[in-house]
Amino acid sequence: MAMAALRREGRRFAPLISPRPITAVRSSPIVPTHEDEGPIGVRYISTQVVRNRMKSVKNIQKITKAMKMVAASKLRAVQTKAENSRGLWQPFTALLGDLPSVDVKKNVVVTISSDKGLCGGINSTSVKISKGIYKLNSGPEKETKYVILGEKAKAQLVRDSKKDIELIITELQKNPLSYTQVSVLADEILKNVEYDALRIVFNKFHSVVSFVPTVSTVLSPEIVERESESGGKLGELDSYEVEGGETKGEILQNLAEFQFSCVMFNAVLENACSEQGARMSAMDSSSRNAGDMLDRLTLTYNRTRQASITTELIEIISGASALEG
């Protein structure tokens, strides 16, 4: 009798102590909890995922700020050298002139780029101008070749102009740039290519946020002599008289080699300054974008946490109401 009465009382109180009413309330909450969260990335997101993203963005922001400071330090070191090097090639431009429109058969495009990325579009700009010069100087009786300085220009030009690349030089800035180092590279280029005109493509530094794509032309001694005899515009060369035992051709040969090394030295330094300035700008923009993203993630995290707390309160109240009812 006692056991039968206990079973009857249990059946009477079963609806009150059963978890099914609470489950029914939790099956359609306003905002899901960690256990019942919605699809990630669609409407709801867990606080753990947001915390992980915030941590990743903070780490990226630290890296970009550090890279900006490193680029600023390198820029100050290279900028002084670049300003001083401008006094080397300017006298040669006044003496031999700079004739970008001269028509010759053998053109060599010297494309100067960086070995590292994260510096904006300076490398893409140099490659585009190099391809444009290649098309302008292409023809049935003409020959145009590439000489590449830097990994980034190499990666872009090898894809579609591999057969036209004559020489590739990388890791130019592994050591501090000096005239001795660049003059050795200039001699190596002159020994390995045949040219009538060397067209050097680089980015001239103006400020941290401004650089100008530039093309400097260095003519071979034969073309210089030809233009001089035909009355071409070659600066102040014709106003000088040749003295001593050397002929005009020998003097022009020495001047052309020295001019190329000086123009190369200035071009490499100007491009290095432009690279560091562009990297500073790029890292500054990345740091600001990371800050904006961090603000949005913080707002999302706070909203998700508040929604979770609200849901838990609703569950407690609903459970208590079900037990009392």
Q: Answer yes or no: is pLDDT of 205 > 80.
A: yes
Instruction: Tell me the CATH class for 59-232+250-283.
Output: alpha beta
pLDDT tens digit string along 147-192?
999 999 999 999 988 899 999 999 888 888 899 999 999 999 999 8
Residue 291, H or E segment: helix 248-324
pLDDT tens digit string along 288-314?
999 999 999 999 999 988 988 898 899
Question: Cβ atoms within 10 A of the Cβ of 24, count?
Answer: 11
Which spans in 193-247 are helix H?
A: 221-229
DSSP state of 162: G
pLDDT tens digit string along 23-47?
333 333 334 444 444 444 434 568 8
Query: In sequence order, what are the residues at sequence separation of 6 or more whose Cβ sits closer than 8 angstroms to the Cβ of residue 78?
Result: 177, 269, 272, 273, 276
d(CA 38, CA 268): 56
Which spans in 105-220 are helix H?
A: 122-136, 151-161, 179-192
pLDDT tens digit string along 4-13?
443 444 444 3
- Partner residues linked to 165 by β-bridges: 146
Least confident of 4-13, 52-61, 90-99: 4-13
Domain range summary for the chain, segments of one domain joined by + = 59-232+250-283
What torsion do the CA atoms of 81, 83, 86, 87 make, to the nearest 10 degrees?
Answer: -90
Least confident of 88-92, 121-125, 259-263, 288-292: 88-92
**The length of the chain, given as a count of residues:** 325
pTM listed for this prediction: 0.77
